[in-house]
Amino acid sequence: MPNQLSRRNLIKALGLSAAALPLSSWARNEKGERIILPDNPLHRPVKKPVTAITCGAGSRGNVYGNYSVQYPDQLDIIGVAEPIAIRKQRYSTKHNIPESNQFNTWEDVFKRPKFADAIIITTPDNLHYGPCMEALKLGYDVLLEKPISPSEKSAAIFLS
């Protein structure tokens, strides 16, 4: 099934280059040049962009959002959950997210059937566990911002 997204391909598309780059110079070298170019050996072309919903449109959510703006052939943000109205509005405008895919809470996202390939969870740390578990139940691939959970008990569930 070559058209289906695997966790491995999602990690490659979203995380491979990100893991080695400091957030302050996202996808650019010290000269300001883009790092992930088609002639760069780390570049992996995809047949279609990974579609994602961002839960949390603060600074961490915008890091992944900015990647999507720079590399629209790899990542397309199609939904957002954010309780702060101005953040949600700015993020939605930046990514051309229709009103039907804008949510006030992460819980609201999961009231709908699956409509993207992945969920990017960048909520506050104490709100990581809930959306991750719901996303996995619905079959989303998950990019979970660290930590998994501030609770040892919740984090242990991921490790079992």
Handedness of CA 54, 57, 61, 66 (dihedral sign): positive
Domain count across the chain: 1
Residue 106 lies in a domain: yes
Residue 131 lies in a domain: yes
Separation between Cα atoms, residue 123 and residue 107, nearest integer Å: 12
Residue 112 has pLDDT above 90, yes or no: yes
pLDDT in tens, 13-54: 555 444 433 333 455 666 776 665 556 666 677 789 999 999
The CATH number of the domain where 129 resides is what? 3.40.50.720
Residue 10 has pLDDT above 90, yes or no: no
Residue 42 lies in a domain: no
Residue 91 lies in a domain: yes
pTM over 0.75: no
Residue 78 has pLDDT above 90, yes or no: yes
Q: How far is CA 101 from CA 4, 57, 62, 63, 116, in A?
A: 22, 13, 17, 20, 10
Residue of 102 and 45 predicted with greater confidence:
102
Read off the pLDDT band of 104 (50, 70, 90): very high
pLDDT of 105 reads 96
